[in-house]
Structure 1
Amino acid sequence: MGTVFSFDVRGGEPAAVRAALDEAVAGLHRADEVFSTYRDGSQISRLARGELTVAACAPEVAEVLELAAEAERVSDGWFSTRYRGRLDPTGIVKGWAVERAARGIAAACGASGVSVNGGGDVQLLGTPGAVRPWRVGVSDPLRPGGLAAVVSAAGVTELAVATSGSAERGAHVVDPRTGRSAVTDLLSVTVVASRLTWADCWATAAFAMGSREGLRWLDSLPGVEGLLITAGDEVRCTGGLAGLLG
């Protein structure tokens, strides 16, 4: 998926943890092989060319496409799996793959806490210990190396943090209405939810909407909070975000 993944596993028997990590890494590689739009022979590329049906693909393909259809419905089309008329579900795959890896590790080795970070998008499960909760720093797009906020998982056992923006990868978010790069007043959108599959989708959709509509929409979603930073260095937050900072 063209990025770096890291794992933090607390508790569990060491051999079981190692086996769970090996399986999670293998699963991430499989996801890349199946869903990569850069591999001509991947199942998603062959599906896009009409060489395969969904039924002939790995079961994960149908699962991801169903989730993507739900994301498109909830976002009123601002999240889309079509790019210039071609099937491209990569906007959901990374979040889904990271969440699946985290849940697989937790189920396989009995860990008390699991954190999986895929390119800055993080799924947290359980707790890291008795003293401090999981904490996730949100990069400041205007101040490289600095933090705009720190999200705390105190009091919750499932938390996901995903950021979409142009600061690191340039103008890669596409406006589904035009098929061209989204032109908005935003530099980044960070979404906090319980599942990274959705946090990743909602961050992308809200970024494409722009700060005013994106903030309004995120505020309407249950169990979802957002932090939006504009090119003018204005920070806009959903109503419940303050309770997750620390």
Structure 2
Amino acid sequence: MGTAVSIELGDDLAAASLSDLIVEVCDWFHLVDARFSTYKDDSEVSRMRRGEVTLADCSDDLRHVLDACADLWRDTDGYFDAYAGGPLDPSGYVKGWSVEVASTRLLEAGSANHYINAGGDIRMRGHHPEGGPWRVGIRHPWEADKISWVLAMTDGAIATSGTYERGGHVINPRTGQPARGLRSVTVVGPDLALADAYATAALAMGEPGLTWLAKLATDGYESAVVTDDGRAFSSAGLPAAV
């Protein structure tokens, strides 16, 4: 998946059980990487890009992801586009979705208190092992050793999309050029797959994304944004720590 993943379990379970849960989550992420990677020649996505397989030949997971990407394309007025860079690349949805699935599986397996971080896409449930909510620092988009916000949550998702690490990797599908106007977009909500996609779409929109993000609050998705010229905005319901 091109990133580091950290998993923290805060449940009072036997060590062997906790270890098994970690192994199962890691196996899932390796499967996702093997299936959806745009860098591995034998992945389903790569084979589809070359026309070697059709949608009917693909896994249920890939069909779900492509359906979700199509829905998001409509919901974002085309700014979330798995084809924005040319060939199929559903990465803007897959990472958040895979973490959301992992979290659901952990919950079903008995882990009610956990925290998964995949390159800044975070899903947490329950409480921190020391009590209280999980606390998450949102990185300052110019100074890596500083933070812009600290969020506190017991159940929810946090996704951040920005240009400060990978440069102009998000494409504005209207222009075909790297997105401009916003340097960091964080979206907080109940589902990481959607939060991740919404953050990507808003970054692609540029400054008009500020108005679009404000409308998402009615669906339970709050946001925090830093523009290219250093202005900071956050929605009223952002779960900022006191």
Which bin holds the TM-score, normalised by the shorter protein? Answer: over 0.9
Mind listing any 5+ residue stretches in structure 1 that lack a counterpart?
A: none
Contact 2:137 2:147 in 1 (8 A): yes
Q: Secondary structure at the match of 1:28?
A: helix
Q: Secondary structure at the match of 2:38?
A: coil
Q: Secondary structure at the match of 2:172?
A: coil
Distance apart, 1:179 and its partner CA: 2.4
Task: Give the letter for the 1:8 counterpart.
Answer: E
Deviations 1:88-123 (A, max 9, x none): 111111111111112212212x12301100011101
1:233 and 2:234 equivalent?
no
Query: CA separation of 1:130/1:85 partners in 2, compared to 1, >3 Å: closer, same or farther?
Result: closer
Q: Secondary structure at the match of 2:196?
A: helix
Number of residue pairs matched by the alignment: 239
CA distance in 2, matches of 1:112, 1:13: 14
Distance apart, 1:74 and its partner CA: 1.3
* Matching residue of 1:220: 215
Superposed counterparts of 1:54-203, under 5 Å: 54-108=55-109, 110-129=110-129, 131-153=131-153, 157-182=154-179, 184-203=180-199
Q: Secondary structure at the match of 1:169?
A: coil
Q: How big is the alpha-carbon RMSD for the aligned residues of Structure 1 and Structure 2? A: 1.5
Q: Secondary structure at the match of 2:115?
A: strand
Query: CA separation of 1:164/1:175 partners in 2, compared to 1, >3 Å: closer, same or farther?
Result: same
CA distance in 2, matches of 1:33, 1:131: 37
* Matching residue of 1:208: 204
Distance apart, 1:130 and its partner CA: 7.1
TM-score (norm 1): 0.92
Contact 1:142 1:233 in 2 (8 A): no
Distance apart, 1:134 and its partner CA: 0.7
CA distance in 1, matches of 2:155, 2:141: 26
Mind listing any 5+ residue stretches in structure 2 that lack a counterpart?
A: none
CA distance in 1, matches of 2:230, 2:214: 21
CA distance in 1, matches of 2:34, 2:175: 29
Moved more, 131-140 or 7-16: 7-16
Contact 1:206 1:217 in 2 (8 A): yes
Task: Give the letter for the 2:150 counterpart.
Answer: V
CA distance in 2, matches of 1:120, 1:233: 21
Percent of paired sites with the same residue: 41
CA distance in 2, matches of 1:17, 1:104: 13
TM-score (norm 2): 0.93
Task: Give the letter for the 2:27 counterpart.
Answer: A
Task: Give the letter for the 2:9 counterpart.
Answer: V
